[in-house]
Structures are given as C-alpha cells and as structure tokens.
Homo-oligomer: A and B are copies of this chain.
Amino acid sequence: MTITEIAKLANVSKSSVSLVLNNKPGVSAETREKVRAIIKKYRYRPNQVAQSLAGGETKSIGLVTKEIDNPYFSRMTRGVNDVCSRLGYSLLLGCSEQSLEREREIIITMVSKRVDGLIICPLQSEDSDYAYVGDLLKDSYPLVVLGTVGSYTTNVVDIDNFQAAYDAVSYLIQKGHTEIAYLAGPVHSGHGKERLDAYKQALSDNGIPVQRSRIVHAKPYVAEGVRAGKELLAGSPQVPSAIFCYNDLIAIGLLRVLEERGLEVPGRVSVMGFDNIDIDQYLQIPLTTIDQPSYEMGKTAANMLIKQIAAGTAGARFEKTILPHRIIERKSVANIREPISISLLQ
C-alpha cells in the first residue's frame, strides 16, 4: 500500500491524500472523509522513511549511553523513552561501553540515519578531542549532553559531580574518618575525573594527605569493584577506615570483598557509593550513597532536546540544567568520632 494506490482508490490526487494524512487544511470535508475511509479500510500507514526523505525529519532521536545494563543508565533511558514516546518520537539506542571508537561510530551512524537530535552520555576521555561533537555543533545539530565534552559549549543536563563527590568525602570526614580510600571510576571518564578531583580537594581542605596507594581505578561494574577492592587491600599498608566508590556497582563489589576478608561494614570499614540505584536499600548492608536523579535527568534531557527540535532553535543558545544531588544516609557508614568531640559540640 502506497499513497499513490490510496489516491487511486479514492479518486483523488496524491497531494490530497497527503493533506489529510497530515491533518492539513486545503481539502474539502467531503474529500477528507472519503480518503479517511479508504485509509481505514486498507489499514494504510504511510512509509515513514519516505516521509522522512521528503519531509526532512525522522521523528526519532538517538540516545548514546555507556552501558545499558547499569541500573543508573537504564533508569535514565526510561526517562528519555517516556518523554519521547509521549511526544511521538522513536528512540534509537547505542551503547559505547568504554570504547571511544564505538562512541564515535554510533554517533556517525545515527547522524547518517538522520535522527532529529542526539542525547549523549559521553565517555569523556582525555584521549578524545571530541571532533565529532565539534562537527555536530558546527552544523547546529540538536544535541544534549549528559556530562561535559571537553571545552565545547553545548546543552547539558547533569548534576554537580565535583560538589557531589566533595559532599560525600566531607560527609565521611565529618563522621570522623581520616583514612579514606577511593575506588575511582574509569580513567577515561569526565565524571571520573571530576569526582577524583573532588576527593583530593576535600582531603586537602581538611588537612588530610592524599596517598596514591589509596586510589584504585575500576570500571563501573560489580566485578570490577571486586577486583579493585582486592587491589586496594593488597596495596595498602593498612586498611582504611572508609572507602568512597565511584558508583554503587563498584561499592557492591567492594562490599563483597570486605565480607570475604572478614572486614565488618561499617564496624571496621565504612563504604560510600554514588548513584543511589534501586537496590541499594535492599543490600545486606544498606548502602549510604549520593543520590543522582537519573530518571529525571533522562526526562529533562529529552524535553530539552525535543523542545529545541520543535522550535528549530538548536545551536542558537544553549541550556544547562544542573539537577540536585543529595546524600542518602543508610547503614554502610559508621560515625567514629571520639566521644570527646561530641561533647565539645554540645
């Protein structure tokens, strides 16, 4: 079934059919009804690739995540999907999974497929010059970044990663910890860098020396948390009293190692995560963490993107939305302040 056949069946021209298809004025009520009847009868659906070619828009947007099976990203994806489907857009999904090359390929493919806009969770490596982002920006391609890409100015939706990590470490310090290790995220990660910087800064600001042996990088998976946890324990002269983690998945892996080693949490070691994924509260030791509103971030990014697509204002001015983070206190962090400090405070 094509528009030509429908036109023939209805004894009208293709243009008339097109007008009723798109609910545009210019056809008599009579013709409209006649065409509608035929369309209904044959259950005709316009070919959207032809519409896209002729009309210049695909009614689809691309979402480039890192790993879709990380609860943080799947909730974000749900947020994006919810607004897309409500607003009549389809979602093209890509996963870069720690590969800059994949990230580049995905974006190129999506642009070749002419998605109307792009939402990117960038890998943010220092190895990357983000040339492709520059190209997109040069073409005023509708784009929202969940994070930051080098020094480019673009639309962004994010939390204040530096402040969030700073708050986390400060919280640990406030609870009396001074020997604080960090299971840092991937080396090639902008968020990873910001959080690492914040960790160091928070220590320095409190007169605590930063020790290289207390920092171990890990990819954002549970298994990596296990690996990095072991590495940390093996490399440290003494077990730290608290360990901050790049994300909850790593923290969960660490918790496992700690249990194996008989290191009680939070009795012997305190653990703090990042993201606040659903399961944190159901863990053996409910995890104290930083809440990142992933679902909201996805929704916000999609709304921002589609608004600009609809208005045709992409590239004109950029928006930046920083969503609030907050500390979620649960059971994995102990207060080890000296009683004397407490009495002094009172």
Are B68 and A58 touching (Cβ within 8 A)? Answer: no
A69 near B: Cβ within 8 Å? yes
A263 near B: Cβ within 8 Å? no
| Contact partner, A283, options B53, B109, B113, B283, Cβ 8 Å | B283
If the complex has contacts A74-B74, A94-B91, A256-B282, are A49 and B53 also in contact, measured as CB distance less than 8 A? yes
Q: Give 1 or 0 for each of A210-224: 1 = CB within 8 Å of chain B CB.
A: 000000000000100
Nearest CB on B from A139, distance (A):
11
For the complex, give the distance between the alpha carbons of A54 and B93 in Å.
Answer: 24
Are A78 and B95 touching (Cβ within 8 A)? Answer: yes
Q: Which of A50-82 contact B (CB under 8 A)?
A: 50, 52-53, 58, 60, 67-69, 71, 74-75, 77-78, 81
A267 near B: Cβ within 8 Å? no
Q: Which residue of B lies closest to A294 (CB)?
A: B69
A153 near B: Cβ within 8 Å? no
Q: Which of A251-265 contact B (CB under 8 A)?
A: 252, 255-256
For the complex, give the distance between the alpha carbons of A81 and B278 in Å.
Answer: 24
| Contact partner, A58, options B45, B49, B71, B91, Cβ 8 Å | B49
Are B45 and A111 touching (Cβ within 8 A)? Answer: yes
Copies in the complex: 2
Residue numbers in B under 8 Å from A74 (CB-CB)? 68-69, 71, 74
A13 near B: Cβ within 8 Å? no
Residue numbers in B under 8 Å from A108 (CB-CB)? 45
A48 near B: Cβ within 8 Å? yes
| Contact partner, A49, options B91, B94, B114, Cβ 8 Å | B114
A90 near B: Cβ within 8 Å? yes
Are A91 and B90 touching (Cβ within 8 A)? Answer: no
Q: Which of A17-70 contact B (CB under 8 A)?
A: 43, 45-50, 52-53, 58, 60, 67-69
Are A93 and B95 touching (Cβ within 8 A)? Answer: no
Select the residue from A71, A111, A256, A279 with max chain B CB neighbours within 10 A. A279
Task: List 23 contacting pairs A-B, 8 Å CB cutoff, sorted by A.
Answer: A45-B112, A48-B109, A49-B49, A53-B53, A60-B92, A60-B113, A67-B78, A68-B68, A68-B77, A69-B74, A71-B74, A74-B74, A81-B94, A85-B94, A85-B102, A90-B94, A252-B279, A252-B282, A256-B282, A279-B283, A282-B283, A283-B284, A284-B285
